[in-house]
Structure 1
Amino acid sequence: MIRLAVAVGMAITMFGCSFRHANAQTFDRLVWQDDFSGDSLDYSKWEVEVNAFGGGNHELQIYTDRPENVRVEDGCLVLEARRDNAAISGTSREYSSGRVRTKHRGDWKYGRIEVRAKLPQGQGIWPAIWMLPTKDEYGGWAASGEIDIMEMRGQQPNVVLGTLHHGAPWPNNIHTGDEYTLEQGTFADDFHTFAVNWRANEIEWLIDGKSVQKQTRWESSGGKYPAPFDQPFHLLMNVAVGGGFLGPPDATTEFPVQMLVDSVKIYQ
């Protein structure tokens, strides 16, 4: 999700290839979950982030803790982007939205991270499910890594991306990854399950149980491989608006838009 300027990516391994050195470890022990079955967010598991400054990507939203932007409703976490000129801490922006994270409430090293969600669409709408290191053990972003489980440009609602950010601190960071195109319909039509199997020497992306990408090579200026992806990470979910990654909304973008999260499950 944190993008900024990036250098040319490294080679990755893709779509069903076989790897002699791949770790065959499976994850079948459920260690953390939230199915949003209550009528309010479980703050023992989630922090609602409040941020007026656009997330570092020239985004246009302000993240608030208002129920208009973050709430639990009908068995789902609702992250809603609105065009309502919301204000916090003396700063107002044309767009508001919601962002949550598990930092210090759910932090994991390796495992299967699985999120079932229905995504919003529209020009300039940027839903993301991603992970950051709980401690910057190897230095500032992206030397300590970032795992993007799923992100989508709302103007391409049938395509999602899975990406690793690593290398040296910005602006000498690099990213590696690929995209997946849904065979029929869009990711805004129904719920889909986005997951990664994160192992010591391999990160595998899955959509609805189908393996769509594997990466086995990455680097960090702060440590030897398998750094930086050998430290505890936490989960983030948000809907951004605008930014250099996808451009601003236009006259075709309808607000409000929602990312609905049905469940989050962590297996180790």
Structure 2
Amino acid sequence: MKRTHFTSVVLFLLAVVSVSCSNFKSNREEAYPGYKLVWSDEFDYQGLPDSSKWSYDTHGNDWGWGNQEAQFYTSRRLANAEVKEGKLFITAIQEFYKDHKYTSARLVTKGKGDWLYGKIEVCAKLPKGRGLWPAIWMLPTDGAYGSWPASGEIDIMENVGYMPDTILASSHTKTYNHKIGTQRSDTIIVPTCYEQFHVYQLEWEPGEYRVYVDGQHFFTFENEGTGPDEWPYDKRFHLILNLAVGGSWGGLKGVDPTIFPSTMEVDYVRVYQKI
């Protein structure tokens, strides 16, 4: 999620055919032979997100989260993060709130869901509109190798509204990051990402990690065996779900004032690890 421009990206000339999340949901417990479900939220309750699984990250509100974003991330506010109808709704609203023009939410599992390796699935429907920047991503829980980007960042799904239907996956490390023009990223076209739910997936192993949409592989980041500058992904990470507004990448072509409120809907989140 930390970036200033779109660099070092290979555009896949592929389009994901919609696969209903129910196809994945039906075999939740035994989805992957040799793996077990170790953490999940099916959002089968009402109200605020489950506090035993999710916290609210608000620490970057005063400085725009490093990306000059326009929203204020709130805490425990149903208008911005609510569970209902079997789903999580993260909503960006155009409103004046604590010197900001927009509000939204950034949910994290840090300290409540932290993992080293495994398979992660997030079934989501994305909001549509110029200036929106939804993301599903991971950061290191302990920062053993130093501040960003030295301890790594795994971006499972990012979309900016002025690039319709384009899903980005990327890795940020000390050696490979956008600040020095070496970011490792790939994209895939998902024509129905705004109208239908899709499963955004990470498979993370000691030798590499891979990113998929509905089981279709489109990005791999390999362990070169040269140390943490290239591969800091041997420590535990946590998951982040957020909907940003504007920013140095998301707001590169402005923010459409007619699109609010806008919502990212999440059907479920699941984490599997080897038995």
Match of 2:92? 81
Q: Report deviation, 1:155.
A: 2.4
Asked whether 1:42 is paired with 2:50, we answer: yes
Question: 1:191-202 maps to which residues of 2 (within 5 A)?
Answer: 191-202=197-208
Which deviates the most, 51-60 or 93-102? 51-60
Asked whether 1:246 is paired with 2:250, we answer: yes
Q: Structure 1 pair 32/175, CA: closer, same or farther in 2 (3 Å)?
A: same
Partner Cα distance (2:149, 2:181) in 1: 6
Is the Cα–Cα contact under 8 Å of residues 69 and 82 in structure 1 kept in the other structure? Answer: yes
Is the Cα–Cα contact under 8 Å of residues 129 and 235 in structure 1 kept in the other structure? Answer: yes
Asked whether 1:214 is paired with 2:214, we answer: no
Asked whether 1:176 is paired with 2:184, we answer: yes
Partner Cα distance (1:192, 1:258) in 2: 15
Supply the AA of the counterpart residue of 1:258. Answer: T
Partner Cα distance (1:255, 1:5) in 2: 24
Is the Cα–Cα contact under 8 Å of residues 131 and 146 in structure 1 kept in the other structure? Answer: yes
**Structure 1 unmatched ranges of 5 or more:** 16-24
Match of 1:21? none
Asked whether 1:131 is paired with 2:138, we answer: yes
Partner Cα distance (1:210, 1:71) in 2: 30
Is the Cα–Cα contact under 8 Å of residues 167 and 173 in structure 1 kept in the other structure? Answer: no
Q: Report deviation, 1:56.
A: 1.1
Q: Matched residue of 1:136: which SS?
A: coil
Supply the AA of the counterpart residue of 2:70. Answer: L
Partner Cα distance (2:68, 2:131) in 1: 12
Q: Report deviation, 1:214.
A: 1.6
Q: What CA RMSD, in Å, does the superposition of the two structures yield over aligned residues?
A: 2.6
Q: Report deviation, 1:227.
A: 3.2
Q: Structure 1 pair 158/173, CA: closer, same or farther in 2 (3 Å)?
A: closer
Match of 1:255? 260
| 1:215-239 C-alpha deviation (Å, 9 max, x unpaired) | 214688xx44773011000000000
Q: Structure 1 pair 123/224, CA: closer, same or farther in 2 (3 Å)?
A: closer
Match of 1:61? 71
Q: Matched residue of 1:160: which SS?
A: strand
Partner Cα distance (2:249, 2:33) in 1: 34
Partner Cα distance (1:225, 1:181) in 2: 30
Supply the AA of the counterpart residue of 1:79. Answer: I
Q: Structure 1 pair 84/210, CA: closer, same or farther in 2 (3 Å)?
A: same
Is the Cα–Cα contact under 8 Å of residues 85 and 93 in structure 1 kept in the other structure? Answer: yes
Asked whether 1:152 is paired with 2:159, we answer: yes
Q: Matched residue of 1:85: which SS?
A: strand
| 1:29-63 C-alpha deviation (Å, 9 max, x unpaired) | 11100001011321110002224232110110000
Selected match of 1:266 from 253, 263, 271:
271
Asked whether 1:3 is paired with 2:13, we answer: no
Is the Cα–Cα contact under 8 Å of residues 166 and 173 in structure 1 kept in the other structure? Answer: no
Partner Cα distance (2:34, 2:181) in 1: 30
Q: Structure 1 pair 132/26, CA: closer, same or farther in 2 (3 Å)?
A: farther
Q: Report deviation, 1:28.
A: 2.4
Match of 1:165? 172
Q: Structure 1 pair 163/9, CA: closer, same or farther in 2 (3 Å)?
A: same
Match of 1:143? 150
Is the Cα–Cα contact under 8 Å of residues 138 and 144 in structure 1 kept in the other structure? Answer: yes
**Percent same amino acid among aligned pairs?**
40
Supply the AA of the counterpart residue of 1:68. Answer: A
Partner Cα distance (1:125, 1:56) in 2: 16
Q: After TM superposition, what 4+ stretches of structure 1 lie above 3 angstroms from structure 2?
A: 8-11, 168-174, 217-220, 223-227
Partner Cα distance (2:199, 2:187) in 1: 15
TM-score (norm 2): 0.82
Is the Cα–Cα contact under 8 Å of residues 186 and 218 in structure 2 kept in the other structure? Answer: no
